[in-house]
Structure formats: C-alpha cells, structure tokens
Chain A
C-alpha cells in the first residue's frame, strides 16, 4: 500500500507540475480569479478534512470491537466524501456556466481582464452587459489543467467512497469485518487520508495561490 501511495504521489505530482507550468499562461479567460469562490470551496475542504477524522474514529471503534459505533463513523465518512463530491459537481457546473455582469460605464482600469474583454462588446449608451463566459476543459490552459487535476482527484474520492461503502455493507455479514481483520480497514483508511492530503495541496496551490495576488 505504501508503494502504491508512493506511485500515486508521482501521479498527482505530475498533474500538479503541469498545472504550475501552465499557470498564468492562458491566452484567454476566465482565470482562477474570475471563477473561484473560496468560501464555497473552504466548506467542502472542511467537510473532507472532517471525514478523515471520522475515519480515524471508525478505525478506533473497530479495534475496540464496537461494531455499531464503527458503522456509524464509517458511514459518515463515506457520506462526507459524497458531500465533497456533490460540492465538486456543483462547482464544475457553476464554472462551466459562469456569467459576468459588467458595468459599461465603469472606468476600464477597475475591471479585470475578463470583464474588459466582455465590456468591449458594450453598445454605445448601454449601461450593463451580461454574458456567459463558461470555463470548460477546452476553454484555455487553465481549464484543461484545472479540470484534469481536480477531476482525477474526484475520481480518487469516488473510488474511496465505493471502497468504504463496500466495507460498510460487508460489516453486516458475520465475521467479514472484525478487529482481527483490522488491516483491511487500515488500508482503506490510509488511502482515504492520502486522498485528503492531496486535496489540501490542491486547495492551497490551485485555489488559494490562484486567487491571492502575488503568487
């Protein structure tokens, strides 16, 4: 398992490296500043981090052979994983249908690059312009690298949820999940924590560095 995680480190390492190489090299918007909503993503990040804690609690419960507590914590881990995924689906959808409303009378220096490009379409005398500028994987380099990186992370979370749910349902069968077989859960937990840690890196490098100026 450690060998597998080492391998997965290289996998995400390469994806993140690609993202960083292409950071700030997109030829057209939207860019991270235009689409990211740090409060929303902070919530989903928090949910995923809490799921790591409940994973630990599930593991501790199994070792003390408290099956009911174990099942509750395991199910809530999987549930929080699914919540995270739901956030991600929502976020992807919002990015793809991103809309900007630009005040045509605002001085050009106060607008972001994306807003400037939209404002260029203002008719004379028009006060406001609304335009859909969705971010898809095809839009620009940011779109390609962002969706590939976070999409593969989402796929990892999905696999983790399937794994945890399988263990959850298996635990109702007598003798399938027992304190003696804690290694099976330990491996799932290790994987889950790893996926979590990767998200912390993605959140920092992609989201926070993407929004705050200077990076």
Chain B
C-alpha cells in the first residue's frame, strides 16, 4: 500500500550501537536520558567545584573573573536544563509506561526525537566553551547584560539557541507524556488510581507545555535584538529591560516546580513502599501538587522585589508566595503521616527520601523568609539565596533523584546495588551537602554577595567559605561513591528478582529488567496500589496484575526502530549552529532546516510497522 520515500532499509539491529541510535523503546531511551544527564550533571558539578576552590580563601586567583562569570552561568544553566530536567525525564521515560500498564509511550518516535534533540542542545551549549567563550550573563540572562553592546561575543547566542533547541526537546516530551497518560492507562486505572509519580509527571508536563513558549518568545526577542538590531530591550529606543525580567520569571517560576514536582513524585513512591503503608491522604497530595502548579503562575514577581514594582504588586506577590507554602506543607505532613507507625525498612532509597524531606523543608523555610519583601530586600543577591536554592534543588531534587535511581536500579538493570555502599553514599552526601550549603546562610546574612569571584580577608567571610569548599569536596566524594556503586553493581551485582521491595505499583509486577513489550497481557486495575492488592489476594475479574501466561508474546507487535528521529534532531542542531553565527551562516541554518524537513516527511510516511 504505502511505499516508503527515500527508501532506506529499516534499521533492524537488535543489539550494538545502532540499536541504541535507532531505538524507540521507552526503556532504552530512559537509560540514554539518565546516563547523558548524569554525565552533564558531573560537568556542572565540576564547574561548581572550580568556583568553590576559587572561593576557598580570600583573594585567590585560580580562575579569572571572566572565567568565573562563565562558570556560574554555565553551572546554573547546565544543572537546570541539562541535569535535573533530563534526569526527571529519564524517570518519566522508564517508569511511566510501566506504571500505567502500557507497552510504550503514545509516540515512541517522538520520544527518540526528544532525546536526540536534548543531546544536540547540550552539545551546542557546551561547544561554546571552545568557540569563543561560554555565556556569562547569569542563567537568567538579564537585559541589558545580554545586549551586543555589553556582550559582543557569541556566548550569549549559543545560550539563546541551545535553550531553544532544548525547549523543542522538552515540549515534544511533554506532549508525549500528556497524551500517554491521558490515553494509554490500563483498563480500570482511573485518574485517582494513578500512582503518585505518574500524577506528578502529568502535572509537570502540563507546566512545561505552558511555560516554555514564554521563554521561547523572550529568547526570540533577545535574539532579534542581538542579530537584527531590533529594539525590544534597547533602552535608547524606549525598550524596557524589566520586560525581560517579567517574561523570564513568568517562565522561570513554573520552571522551579517543573524541577521539584517529579522529585516529590519519586519520594511519594519510595515512602509508602518502605513504610509498608499506603500513601497517607493520596487525594490531598495529588490536589496539593495541582495547586502548587496552578499557583506557581502567580508568584513570579517575588524574584523581582528589588526592581521597584511599587507597593501593591509587591504586597500581592508577597501574599501569593506565602500562600504557596501551604500546599507544599500539606505534602510534607502527608509524607510524615505516611511513615508514622509504618514498619520501616531502612534501605538506601528510603534514606534518600527521608533526607529529601528534611533538606527540602529547610529550603522551604528559608524560602518563606524571603517571601516577605522587606526581608528579601536584605537577602536579594546574597549567599542566603544561594543557600536556599541549593537546599531545594540539591537537597530536594537531586537527593530525591539519586534515591529514585537506587529505588528503580534493580528494575532497570536486573541487578541489585550494594546496600552498604548505598547507605554510605547517603550519609556522605547528606553531610557534604549540609557542609557546603548551610554556611552559605551565615555568609549571606553577613552580606556576602552572589557571583563575586573573590573577596578580601578583612570581610570576615574566610572561615565559612573554607568550610563550604571542604563540603564541596565531600559532596564530590559522595558522587564518586555513587558512580562506583552503580558501575560495579551494574556489571556484577546480584541478580534482582522482579519485585525486590514488595512494591505497590505495576512496574514491580514483571521481571527485572522488563521484557521489551513490558506486559504480556495488559492487566486490569482495581486498586490504587494494584500490585499490593493482587499480592494480598484480592480476587477480581479481568487480567490479573502480574498475570498472563507469557504465551501471548509471539503475537505482540512492538513499533520498529527508526532512523528519522535522529535525522530531524541533527537537522535542528545544524540549523542552531547556523543561527548562532548568523550573517552568511543563515545558509547553514537553511541547510539544517532542509535536513529536518526531509526527516519529518520521511518520518510521517514511514509506517509504524513494516508489513510482513
């Protein structure tokens, strides 16, 4: 019936490098996301370590001020867009289809496209280190710091274009997961029976879909200013730099919930499993997540209290910011009630989840402190803010993600990690984390500004900066332990069975690692903790969870691998390079777009499965 244009034989590699390049299996893509994001996380971590070494004592001269500016900008951008977001995406990919009882995501090829585009954006951003210097205007890129007059190099252009490319990847992934969660749940799994992690993914995807266009527009305007001499943020022709701040934070504040909600989802999975109790107040936790996402749109100006917006906006945003702490507090109390009286198994994932609660609460409380505009005026741009943001993003998001990696490690690899090293990993990380970031509260209250490359000995900041750098080394050590544990366990850990934790959700009802088709037969779901209910002997009609004789597997057709997603991504990245260098290089951009278009057409006409 359908002839394939650009008739290239379909990729059929079951193993080897090509199988990874052409894969559209959500589990493989999840692993690709996880490994890539972790490598980028290490790069971002090394950038932070360099900054900490520079700040270890007064008047040091290890990196120049110019390099320091690039370091903190790239550290922020890398950690947010290239580490935490894709680490969450790795879990979305691996876990969501398994949790909702699906064989794959709704658009498997689009999923592969998301990954390759993310990788391309990461390469584009980091290539700027070698091509004339990285971006140096802070991760928020405030105008007019980013104008051609202030910043003639092409670091800013690399930053603009790679964020656009990453935006495309995130949007494609978000559409994919919204459709997957809405349409592909197993029979019987109503919205209020969805596992919490699935819920938080759903909410995060909606936030992504609504928040990214705003930053896209802001970046387009900035790019036009820089490339074509337009006037959006040009004060000389009446442009207003504060508009950039508004656009950036309208995106930027929902973005912080995009970073933290998946982590909250992970914690909400780990706690009940190891406390052997269902999650306390399931519907309130779901609702609190939704309210956080909604209210996340009403608080952006608290990043701008010192701009001088006037008393009314400042008062309003103070109130909304304080109010958003309420649903967050609800979640924390629900988690505590979940472990209250539970028969706790103190395995490594649980330690990380408990660590998350403690550290995130500290970050939340300092957050409430600068929700108050008058208090924020003192704290703005000091290390106090640095302490706050790292307690919520490191102590919150990263600790939960590492816990999640330990939690799903047996499922992903089919092997157990080393429990003793896992626990050691937690304690070293916990101590290191507090050593780095707690002293920053003191430094901030003592008036140490952010983003300075050095300070004088008589400022009285030397002691706590030294402690903080020591902590950074401990934190680095904890990640060496982590890598050691993961690598050795992956290669020769004990074999894990399908359900090592006595899990509650569907992903534990199959073998580890899961078969390519996930479920031999799609189970029917009758309960929130469906797999627990099944194991506790509740009998229902329909296909039992974890059931299916396995004889059906010959008739299961999985979508076949494809070359086209990566072709489109490569086209996008080539176009990105063309746009960065602009001028005559627009020809390169056009060439990239052409490759992308060919890829899109070939993709559209490629049948999901070849006729047999």
Q: Which residues of A are interface residues toward B (Cβ below 8 A)?
A: 3-4, 6-8, 10-11, 13-15, 18, 21-22, 25-28, 137-138, 140-141, 143-145, 148, 152, 166, 175-176
Contact = CB atoms under 8 A, between A and B. Distances in A.
A18 B210 CA distance: 17
B213 A11 contact: yes
B214 A140 contact: no
A152 B174 CA distance: 23
A18 B221 contact: yes
Contacts of A26: 237-238
A144 B224 contact: yes
A18 B209 contact: no
A143 to B, nearest CB: 7
Contact of A27 (B2, B174, B209, B237): B237
B212 interface: yes
A207 B175 CA distance: 33
Contact of B231 (A3, A11, A141): A141
A152 B171 CA distance: 18
Given A148-B220, A175-B1, A7 B213 contact: yes
A21 B243 contact: yes
A176 to B, nearest CB: 7
Given A138-B231, A140-B237, A144-B231, A15 B217 contact: yes
A141 B174 CA distance: 34
Contacts of A140: 231, 237-238
14 contacts: A3-B179, A7-B171, A10-B211, A13-B213, A14-B213, A18-B243, A18-B247, A21-B240, A21-B243, A26-B237, A137-B228, A138-B230, A148-B220, A148-B221
Contacts, number: 85
Contact of B210 (A10, A144, A176): A10
Given A11-B214, A27-B238, A141-B239, 9 more contacts: A7-B212, A13-B213, A14-B217, A14-B250, A22-B232, A22-B240, A138-B229, A138-B230, A140-B231
Interface of B: 1-2, 171, 174-175, 178-179, 206, 209-214, 216-218, 220-221, 224-225, 228-232, 237-240, 243, 247, 250, 601
Q: Is the interface of A mostly helix, strand, loop or mixed?
A: helix
A11 B217 contact: yes
B210 A138 contact: no
A18 B239 CA distance: 10
A114 B447 CA distance: 51
B209 A6 contact: yes
Contacts of A141: 231-232, 237-239
Nearest to B228: A137
Which interface residue of B211, B216, B239 has the most chain A CB atoms within 10 A?
B239
Contacts of A10: 210-211, 213-214
A84 B475 CA distance: 60
Given A25-B238, A140-B238, A176-B2, A3 B178 contact: yes
Nearest to B250: A14
B349 to A, nearest CB: 32
Q: Which of B174, B220, B230 has the most CB of A within 10 A?
A: B230
Contacts of B214: 10-11, 14
B251 to A, nearest CB: 9
A76 B235 CA distance: 46
Given A3-B179, A4-B175, A138 B217 contact: no
A28 B175 CA distance: 43
Nearest to B171: A7
Give the one of A3, A8, A25 with max B CB within 10 A: A3
B238 A22 contact: yes
A210 B1 CA distance: 54
A3 B607 CA distance: 24
Contacts of B218: 14
Contacts of B220: 148, 152
Nearest to A8: B213
B213 A148 contact: no
A15 B217 CA distance: 7
B439 to A, nearest CB: 40
A148 B210 contact: no
A139 to B, nearest CB: 8
Nearest to B175: A3
Contacts of A138: 228-231
A145 B238 CA distance: 12
B230 A3 contact: no
B212 to A, nearest CB: 7
Q: Which 7 A-B pairs have the closest CB atoms?
A: A11-B213, A14-B217, A144-B230, A10-B213, A27-B238, A144-B231, A7-B209
B585 to A, nearest CB: 20
Nearest to A24: B238
A76 to B, nearest CB: 24
A11 B216 contact: yes
B232 A144 contact: yes
Nearest to B177: A3
Contacts of A25: 238, 240
B1 A148 contact: no
A147 to B, nearest CB: 8
Contacts of B174: 3
B1 to A, nearest CB: 6
A118 to B, nearest CB: 19
A175 B1 CA distance: 8
Contacts of B224: 137, 144, 148
B1 A143 contact: no
A185 to B, nearest CB: 14
Contacts of B240: 21-22, 25
A18 B238 contact: no
B168 to A, nearest CB: 11
Contacts of A8: 213
B217 A3 contact: no
B255 to A, nearest CB: 13
B360 to A, nearest CB: 28
A137 B247 contact: no
Nearest to B601: A166
A145 B232 contact: yes
Contacts of A27: 237-238
Nearest to A10: B213
Q: By CB atoms of chain A within 10 A, which of B1, B213, B240 has the most?
A: B213
A19 B480 CA distance: 51
A166 B179 CA distance: 25
B607 to A, nearest CB: 12
Contacts of B206: 3
A143 B231 contact: yes
Q: Which of A14, A22, A143 has the most CB of B within 10 A?
A: A14
A22 B179 CA distance: 37
Given A15-B217, A18-B217, A27-B238, A137 B175 contact: no
A6 B231 contact: no
Contacts of B601: 166
A32 to B, nearest CB: 15
A47 to B, nearest CB: 27
Contacts of A14: 213-214, 216-218, 247, 250
A123 B91 CA distance: 74
B606 to A, nearest CB: 13
Contacts of B1: 175
Nearest to B224: A148
B202 to A, nearest CB: 11
Contacts of B171: 7
Contact of B230 (A11, A28, A137, A176): A137
